Structure 1
Amino acid sequence: MSDQQAIEAVVHLYVEGMTFANEAALRKAFHPQCAIIGHYENAVEWLNREEFIAAIVAEGSAPPTTQPHMDIQMLDIVGDAASVKVSDDFAGMRFTDYLSMLKIDGRWTIVNKLYYLHT
């Protein structure tokens, strides 16, 4: 599998993990020390992985027939670092996410997520 394919697989894991409140998928996609940052409900939200997963699980899963929306708009890879811009939906909201990824021990992982919630 190429680096691009491996990165896209992690992004798919992340989006499906959010859509279906899949804790295991989100834990696999995100590094344990990652940060998730953006404006939510008129305040800066700055979460670690556990807080982010708890918020996703609290929102609950989309219906099983839901087709997750994911549009990778940009993917840039240099060595073991990558940046991905992806549009996705969660709980009826549209987000643009900037995912910083790092290849650690041969596996790509999300180390930072900066998001924008479209109004």
Structure 2
Amino acid sequence: MNQQTPLSTVDRNAADYATLCAVLRDYFDGLYHCDTKKLAAVFHPQATYANATEGKLLKLSMDEYFPVVDKREPPASRNETRRDRIVSIEFAGPVTALARVECAIGPKFFTDLLTFIKLDGRWQIITKVFHYDLME
């Protein structure tokens, strides 16, 4: 009888960490190129986008957010230097994670808190809460 050894928690977390890094690369690429098809693959269809940087709550569904992205001029078309990085990834459990990332688009420097869920073996962003500062 051939029995497979289940992945240890450390191995599972290492595999999930690598997968989340790949998803975040697609997230950064989607933002840099304003590619909503790529973004739709990393966001859960019921995900929420929210911030209050300007003093009032801005909360959008993906159906509201993607048209905003479609109307933007892609940073790639302006040959902007990419300034995106993963600050941290933390696991709350086997199907829940939080990533803190940073990126710059135009004059804005963003700190994004991205909550992930893993459904059907796939990690997707379920909430994007962010703050931005204007760069000088």
Three-state SS of the structure 2 residue aligned to 1:69 is: coil
RMSD: 1.7
1:92 equivalent among 107, 112, 116: 107
Distance 1:63 1:83 in 2: 27
Percent same amino acid at aligned positions?
23
Partner of 1:21: 34
**Are 1:80 and 2:95 matched, yes or no?**
yes
Structure with the higher fraction of residues in helix conformation: 2
Distance 2:40 2:89 in 1: 22
Of residues 28-37 and 43-52 in structure 1, the stretch that sits farther from structure 2 once superposed is: 43-52
Alignment gaps of 5+ in structure 1 = none
2:74 equivalent among 31, 55, 61: 61
Q: CA deviation at 1:60?
A: 2.0
Distance 1:92 1:28 in 2: 27
Deviations along 1:43-92, whole A, 9 cap, x unmatched?
32101112211111111212354443222111102211100000111233
Of residues 62-71 and 35-44 in structure 1, the stretch that sits farther from structure 2 once superposed is: 62-71
Partner of 1:44: 57
Distance 1:70 1:62 in 2: 12
Structure with the higher fraction of residues in strand conformation: 1
**Are 1:103 and 2:118 matched, yes or no?**
yes
For residue 18 of structure 2, what is the amino acid of its counterpart? Answer: Q
Alignment of 1:1-16 (within 5 A): 2-16=15-29
Q: CA deviation at 1:42?
A: 4.3
The aligned length equals 119
TM-score normalized with structure 2 length: 0.79
TM-score normalized with structure 1 length: 0.90
**Displaced runs of 4+ in structure 1, greater than 6 A?**
none
Please identify the structure whose Cα radius of gyration is greater: 2
Higher relative contact order (CA 8 A, sep 6+): 1
Q: CA deviation at 1:16?
A: 1.1
